[in-house]
Amino acid sequence: MEAFEWMAWTGPSATFFAVIFAILVGMTVWDLRSPSVPRRGFLPLETTRGDRLFIGLLGSAYVNLLWIGVTTLSPWYSLAMAVVLLALVMRYG
Amino acid sequence: MDKTHDNKAWFLVIPVFVIVAFSAIIPLMTVVNYSLQDIFGPNERYFVGTEWFREVLNDSRLHGALYRQLLFSGLVLLIEVPLGVAIALAMPPRGWTASLCLVLLAIPLLIPWNVIGTIWIIFTRPDIGLLGRTINGLGIPFDHTAAPLDAWVTVMLMEVWHWTPLVALLAYAGLRAIPEAYYQAARIDGASAWAVFKYIQLPKMRGVLTIAILLRFMDSFLIYAEPFVLTGGGPGNSTTFLSIYLVKQAVGQFDLGPAAAFSIIYFLIVLLFSWVFYQVLQRVGTGDK
């Protein structure tokens, strides 16, 4: 692990990237087994699963930034909201 | 359900992915790690959670730099895209004059960015610069080192001079790719020049203009060398754009934690705008909403 020492890893950031990586691998396997068909949900554009993941993750990042920027409450709340947002976009977006 | 794509082709992307991983993804991961810590040295750092993000998001100087950056990029797109398309439309379609135009247009693109700044410093100096002295000679006081408006005008002129040729070259390539049959059909229908532009040329240039707009937005949003050399971010903070402010923070003050948090926010803004532009431009002229 010394080879990665220069990257200044922390537990939370390692967990974050591990989750993102797991999602990407999972989505790739899912798409190989059952290719995504573009469809239209509540988002104003036709999206594939990958598009919805991107929109959900980007939206989650902005939810967290907004929360950190305007409140002093724990970021765990914004993380919970971001997970809900991601799930909603993936399912109904 | 039948497969809609041959997904095996995606494996061909692996070499690109490996290169991008080393040049972009691993550095970006490091920046994320930095953004969560207070860095005192290579082996001395402390986890601070979201503290730097909170600090950066409430930094009024950053808000100022962001507003200036948005204004700058907005003006760049508003000026360079129509001007580039107009230049492309005015260029001769073929022959040696077309080649000459292409070479002339390419010149500003070949000059190193820091040299561009130096050229414009000299060009706009009120005492010896051709432009600066001419404007002052007309009785209009002009000094980009003292007046914020003059600094903005100079930075915009430099930017437009430097990068409009890229838009023009892309638009020209798009125009040349339109088959002659479209123009013949338009002539038979008695279409006006405006109708030809609106219904043939502009839709056919959609692909290259998408690339031009995305490139110009991202490049102008990340601009550093030219305004740094020309104005150093001044007078005051009037031309301190996001990159200049970021470098001041990261290199000047060695605040790596806040600078990393700032970089991530910066990255997310560029990502959001680029995605929105891409989505909108993909739908222009296709009837989709």
Nearest CA in chain B to A30: B7
Instruction: Please name which of B281, B263, B274, B288 lies closest in space to residue B30, comparing C-alpha atoms.
Output: B263
> Which whole number is the average pLDDT over A59-63?
96
pLDDT, tens digit, 9 for 90 and up, residues B246-275: 888 888 777 889 999 999 999 999 899 889
Q: A69 in contact with B at a CB cutoff of 8 Å?
A: yes
> Which whole number is the average pLDDT over A34-38?
89
Model confidence band, residue B67 (pLDDT cutoffs 50, 70, 90): very high
- CA atoms of A63 and A83, how far apart (whole Å): 10
Q: Which residue has the tokens 């907005």?
A: B74
Q: What is the ipTM of this complex?
A: 0.91
Model confidence band, residue B95 (pLDDT cutoffs 50, 70, 90): confident
Average pLDDT along chain B = 88
What does the pLDDT read at residue B166? 95
Q: Is the pLDDT of residue B79 over 90?
A: yes
Across the interface, of A16, A58, A75, the residue whose CB is closest to B271 is A58
Q: Is the pLDDT of residue B55 over 60?
A: yes
Model confidence band, residue A4 (pLDDT cutoffs 50, 70, 90): confident
- CA atoms of A86 and A69, how far apart (whole Å): 20
Residues of B in contact with A9 (CB under 8 A): 33
DSSP output for B196-226: HIIIIIHHHTHHHHHHHHHHHHHHHHT--HH
Pairing of strands A39-40, A46-47: antiparallel
Tokens found for residue B155 = 């930075």
SS3 of residue B47 by DSSP:
strand
**Which residue type, as a one-letter code, is found at position B169?**
L
Tokens found for residue B181 = 């049959």
Does the beta-carbon distance from A13 to B57 stay under 8 Å? no
Q: Is the pLDDT of residue B61 over 70?
A: yes
Which ranges of A34-74 would DSSP assign to H, the alpha helix? 49-70
The CATH superfamily label for domain B59-283 reads MetI-like (1.10.3720.10)
Main-chain phi, psi angles of B254, to 5 degrees? 55, 35
Q: A77 in contact with B at a CB cutoff of 8 Å?
A: no
What does the pLDDT read at residue A67? 95
Model confidence band, residue B236 (pLDDT cutoffs 50, 70, 90): confident
* Closest CA–CA distance from residue A13 to any residue of chain B (Å): 6
Long-range CB pairs of B134-138, under 8 A, 24+ apart, other chains included: none
Q: Which residue has the tokens 């700032």?
A: B262
What does the pLDDT read at residue B4? 59
Number of helices and strands in chain A (H, E): 3, 2
Model confidence band, residue B161 (pLDDT cutoffs 50, 70, 90): very high
- CA atoms of A18 and A22, how far apart (whole Å): 6
What does the pLDDT read at residue B288? 53
What does the pLDDT read at residue A14? 93
Those residues with Cβ within 8 angstroms of residue B78's Cβ, 6 or more apart along the chain or in another chain:
none
Q: Is the pLDDT of residue B235 over 80?
A: yes
A 18-47 near B (Cβ less than 8 A): 31-32, 34-35, 37, 44-46
SS3 of residue A17 by DSSP:
helix
CB A40 within 8 Å of CB A46? yes
Which ranges of A34-48 would DSSP assign to H, the alpha helix? none
